Every structure is written in C-alpha cells, then in structure tokens.
Amino acid sequence: MPLGPVIVILLRLILPLSILRYPLWGGILAMLLDGADVIIAGWLNMGDFSSYHTTDKYLDMYYLTLEVYKSLSWQNALACRTSMFLFIYRFVGVIWFEATNLRILLFVFPNLFENFFLFFEAYRKIKKTEKLSWKGILIALIILLIPKLVQEYLMHVVLLRPWDWFHTTFLKT
C-alpha cells in the first residue's frame, strides 16, 4: 500500500484513541479527521486510495465504537440506551450497505449516533449534569436528525463530493 493511505489510516487509528480520555474533543477530532481524510491523502500525494470507501466505513465504525464505549459510562440511563440504539441502528445500516452496495441504506440508517454522542458530551460539559428528560432527548434528536438527513442525502444519494471541489480548488489535483 502506498505511503499516503498508510499515513491517513494510522492517523484515523491513533487520534480517535483520545476519545477514551477526552470524549467530546476526541470525538470532534475523529469526526473532523473522517471528513478530511481524503483531502489529507490528496494533499500528501503519496499514492492512490482506491479502496477508500470501504476502508472509511471500517474506520468510522472503529471510532464510533470508542464513542459508544464511552457512552456506557453515562449516568443518564435513557441517554445511554439512546446512544446504544443509535449506534446499533447505524451499524446494521453499514453492514447491510456493505452486503448490498445500496447507497440509499446510508441515508435510511443515518449516523445520528455521532451527533447525539457529541451533543450529550457537550451538554454534560456545559451544564455540569447529565439530567435530561426523555422530552429533552427527543427534541435534541429531532433537531440533530434534520441536518444529518440532509448531509446523508447529499453524500450518499445525490453523491455530492465536497472533497473533489476542495482538491480542484485548493490542491489543483
């Protein structure tokens, strides 16, 4: 495997470990790295990353697994169960997608888990409590779901590729 993809994979394996110590900031870092990995690989210009999509899904599930592990320590049982449900829901969608290659499944099974995890970690940090009612969780989920569905639709149904624009605009590749 060329050096560029190796560097990106190593970054995506090592940096998310910060989730275990700093769940909010580690989760944000992992999410940003997930969004920038293709750009980083292109910027390094050290080889083709032709198997990117499958590799990306595995690396996503790796850091999401670290996040769901951290959510198991939450004292709010409803938030913990919500987190587990959202993780399993996305995991089923990813497995089904990998088995069928039907991109619509990534829209039907959106990665709402990650947004909920970051929301609840931020809530805990700002409010200094985990107390949040089922109504509060439901409202948060609805608010988080709307932009997430738009993102999943654009990326997996319309096949909008923001990194292609970034490459041609800034990296001239």
| pLDDT tens track for 52-94 | 778 888 999 999 999 999 999 999 999 999 999 999 999 999 9
**Which range marks the domain in which residue 112 is found?**
3-171
Reported pTM: 0.89
Is the CB of residue 46 less than 8 Å from the CB of residue 2?
Answer: yes
Q: What is the rounded CA–CA span in Å between residue 110 and residue 26?
A: 21
Among 32-36, 39-43, 90-94, 113-117, the least confident range? 39-43
pLDDT 10s digits, 142-173: 999 999 999 999 999 998 876 566 656 666 65
Residue 10 CA: distances (Å) to CA of 18, 52, 65, 85:
14, 14, 17, 29
- Counted domains in the chain: 1
Q: How confident is the model at residue 51 (pLDDT cuts 50, 70, 90)?
A: confident
pLDDT value of residue 38:
80
